[in-house]
Amino acid sequence: MCLFRKVQFKKEKDLKAFLDAQVIKYNTLDFIESDPISIPHLFSRKEDIEIAGLFSAVLAWGQRKTILSKMNELLLRMDKAPFDFVTNHSFQDIKNLEGFVHRTFNDTDLLYFISFLKELYLKPGGLEAAFFPQKDKREDAVFHALTGFRSLFISSEYFPKRTGKHISRPQSGSACKRLNMFLRWMVRKDNAGVDFGIWNSIKPFQLICPCDVHVERQARILGLVSRPKPDWTMAVELTDRLKQFDPEDPVRYDFALFGMGVN
């Protein structure tokens, strides 16, 4: 059963003007307050932003209010210093993480993430290098980045199989919404001040639009996608469509689609 009516624009320029207006409306500092991106905005150090951002994206499942509550709980357990905690934690510090749970993410998953991140930050390049070992100019750079990150994530002999579900990969058909959102945060930057733009391995035009339920619904209403379900192919289809409106920064329209969907 169709629950929405498709909106028709007579000209492409009219649709672009509409989306541009929605970007201006939602890509503001007011957006930060109720969104998971507010968590990494608590920090100024690059590594703290990265770690807080990754956990915020991985746990971005369910109501935003609940996500923020669980992330604040996690930061308290990490003494509000994620990078220092990851790299210098003691046995007692690790004990403080026991019992943490958000939906299907539990303390087994959390402990593996902490161990994995510590290993990353012992190496040059840290978390960014885990996604992008070198600057990547390929159009499908994000596909390769997510594939490589997933392979690295599961490579440890101590990897608990259950934890793999929290790091998706394109080959499985997943839209990889949460990781694409994280990459948007790290790579994009504009005068609005929402996204951080602290990673330089790829350019904004190489990003893939995060395709969650809100974005998918609005994209269908506006006739931007034709795929039957929100998978990787749809995420690429949507991004390619948005490139017709802004070839250099198509993912900025995530603000428009998500903002309209939520509100």
Q: Would you list the DSSP string of 46-85?
A: HHHHHHHHHHHHHT--S-HHHHHHHHHHHHHHTTT-HHHH
Check residue 231 and report its DSSP letter: B
- What tens digit of pLDDT does each residue of 50-72 get? 999 999 999 999 999 999 999 99
Q: What is the pLDDT of residues 123-157, one digit of tens each?
A: 999 999 999 999 999 999 999 999 999 999 999 99
Could you tell me if residue 1 is inside a domain?
no
Mean pLDDT estimate for the chain: 95
Please report whether residue 7 resides in a domain.
no
The domain in which residue 199 lies consists of: 12-262
Taking every pair of Cα atoms in the chain, the longest distance, rounded to a whole number of angstroms, is 63
What does the buried/exposed string (b/e) look like for 107-146 if buried means 16 or more CB atoms within 10 Å of the residue's CB? eebbbbbbbbbeebbeeeebbbebbbeeebeeeebbbebb
Residue 263's pLDDT band (boundaries 50, 70, 90)?
confident
- Asked whether residue 127 is assigned to any structural domain, the reply reads yes
Tell me the per-residue pLDDT of 154-169, one tens digit each, with 9 for 90 and over.
Answer: 999 999 999 999 999 9
Look at residue 2 and tell me if it is in a domain: no
Encode pLDDT of 179-192 as tens digits.
999 999 999 999 99
The pLDDT of residue 165 is: 96
Q: Is the pLDDT of residue 199 over 90?
A: yes
Question: Directed axis angle between helix 46-58 and helix 177-187, to 10°?
Answer: 160
State what percent of residues in the chain have pLDDT above 90.
Answer: 94
In the 8-state DSSP scheme, what is residue 174?
A: B
Tens-digit pLDDT profile for residues 28-55: 999 999 999 999 999 999 999 999 999 9
Backbone angles phi, psi at 33, to 5 degrees: -55, -45
What digits encode the pLDDT tens for the residues 111-126? 999 999 999 999 999 9
Assigned domain for 181 exists = yes
pLDDT of residue 2: 45
**Selection from 184, 212, 187 nearest residue 199 by Cα:** 187
Is residue 4 in some structural domain? no
Q: What sign does the dihedral 161-165-166-170 (CA atoms) show?
A: positive
Q: Is residue 209 part of a domain?
A: yes
Under 8 Å between Cβ of 145 and 132: yes
User: The tokens of 141 are what?
Assistant: 């750079």
Angle CA(178)–CA(53)–CA(262) in degrees, nearest 5? 50
Q: Indicate if the pLDDT at residue 1 is higher than 50.
A: no
Question: Contact, 209 vs 252, CB < 8 A?
Answer: no
For residue 6, being part of any structural domain is answered with: no
User: Helix, strand, or coil here: 106?
Assistant: strand
Number of structural domains in the chain:
1
- Looking at residue 4, what is its pLDDT? 55
Question: How far apart, in whole angstroms, are the C-alpha atoms of residue 74 and residue 245?
Answer: 39
Sign of the torsion formed by the C-alpha atoms of 105, 107, 108 and 114: positive
* CA separation for the pair 226, 133 (Å, rounded): 34
- From residue 148, alpha-carbon distances to 51, 57, 97, 236, 250 in Å are 18, 18, 28, 18, 24
241 band by pLDDT with thresholds 50, 70 and 90: very high
Closest C-alpha to 158, from 109, 197, 95? 109
